[in-house]
Amino acid sequence: MSTKTLPILLIAGALALSACARNKESLPPPPPQAAPALPPAPIDQPGTVPPQEPVQTTTLPGSQADFVRAAGSDTVLFAFDSYSIDETARQILGAQASWLGQYSNVRVTVEGHTDERGTREYNLALGERRANAAKNFLAAQGVDASRISVISYGKERPAADGSNEDAWAQNRRAVTILVSGAR
Amino acid sequence: MIWRVFCALLLAAPAAATLRVDITSGVEAPMPIAVPAFATAAVMPTPAGTTADLGRQVATIISGNLTGTGLFRAVDPAAFPAPAVAQVTAPAFLGMRTAAAQALVTGSVTANADGTLTIGCYLYDVFSEEELVRQGFTVTPAGWRRAAHKCSDLVYSRLTGESGYFDSRIVYVAESGPRTKRVKRLAIMDQDGANHRFLTSGQSLVLMPRFSPVDETITYMSFAGDRPRVWLYNIGTGRQEAVGNFDTMSFAARFSPDGRTLLFSVTRSGNADIFAYDIASRRTTRLTNSNAIDTSPSFSPDGRKIVFESDRGGSQQLYVMNADGSGAQRISFGSGRAASPVWSPRGDLIAFTRMDGGKFRIAVVRPDGSGERLLTDSWQDEGPSWSPNGRVILFSRTERAGRSTLRSIDLTGRSDRRIPTPLEASDPAWGPLLR
**Between chains, do A157 and B340 touch, taking CB under 8 Å as contact?**
no
How far apart CA B128 and CA B16 sit, in angstroms, is 9
pLDDT at residue B215 above 60?
Answer: yes
pLDDT at residue B7 above 70?
Answer: no
**Enclosing H/E stretch for A113:** strand A108-113
**Between chains, do A122 and B178 touch, taking CB under 8 Å as contact?**
no
CB neighbour class for B365 (10 Å; exposed up to 12, middle 13-18, buried from 19)? buried
At residue A113, the pLDDT reads 98
Look up the CATH number of the domain holding residue B193: 2.120.10.30
The answer to whether the CB of A35 falls within 8 A of the CB of A153 is: no
Of B139, B160, B181, the position where a domain reaches its end is B160
At residue A18, the pLDDT reads 47
Is A135 among the domain residues? yes
Are B204 and B301 part of one and the same domain? yes
How far apart CA A76 and CA A130 sit, in angstroms, is 10
Are B220 and B308 part of one and the same domain? yes
At residue B2, the pLDDT reads 43
Structural domain of B151: 2-19+27-160
**Between chains, do B265 and A121 touch, taking CB under 8 Å as contact?**
yes
When pLDDT is averaged across residues A51-67 and rounded to a whole number, the result is 90
The answer to whether the CB of B265 falls within 8 A of the CB of B295 is: yes
Among candidates B405, B406, B397, B417, which has minimal Cα distance to B64?
Answer: B417
Average pLDDT, chain B: 92
For B401, name the nearest residue in chain A, comparing CA atoms only: A163
**Using CB atoms, which residue from B226, B339, B400 is nearest to A122?**
B339
**Between chains, do B265 and A120 touch, taking CB under 8 Å as contact?**
no
Look up the CATH number of the domain holding residue A108: 3.30.1330.60
At residue B175, the pLDDT reads 97
Percentage of chain A exceeding pLDDT 70:
75
At residue B435, the pLDDT reads 87
**Between chains, do A161 and B401 touch, taking CB under 8 Å as contact?**
yes
Look up the CATH number of the domain holding residue B106: 3.40.50.10070
Amino acid identity of residue B84, one-letter, is A
Of B134, B160, B186, the position where a domain reaches its end is B160
Are B117 and B258 part of one and the same domain? no
Are B90 and B234 part of one and the same domain? no
When pLDDT is averaged across residues B388-397 and rounded to a whole number, the result is 96
Average pLDDT, chain A: 84
Split at pLDDT 50, 70, 90, the class of B87 is: very high
Are B203 and B335 part of one and the same domain? yes
In total, how many domains does chain B have? Answer: 2
pLDDT at residue B112 above 80?
Answer: yes
* pLDDT per residue as tens digits for the range B277-326: 999 999 999 999 999 999 999 999 999 999 999 999 999 999 999 999 99
Distance between first and last Cα of chain A: 78
Is A5 among the domain residues? no
Is A47 among the domain residues? no
Structural domain of A142: 64-178
Of B160, B192, B223, the position where a domain reaches its end is B160
Is A110 among the domain residues? yes
Is A55 among the domain residues? no
Residues of chain B with Cβ-Cβ distance to A118 below 8 Å are: 339, 355
Is A83 among the domain residues? yes
At residue B97, the pLDDT reads 87
At residue B3, the pLDDT reads 44
Are B277 and B350 part of one and the same domain? yes
**Enclosing H/E stretch for B144:** helix B144-160
**Using CB atoms, which residue from A120, A158, A163 is nearest to B400?**
A163
The answer to whether the CB of B81 falls within 8 A of the CB of B61 is: no
**Using CB atoms, which residue from A109, A128, A163 is nearest to B249?**
A128
In total, how many domains does chain A have? Answer: 1
Is A4 among the domain residues? no
At residue B366, the pLDDT reads 97
pLDDT at residue B61 above 80?
Answer: yes
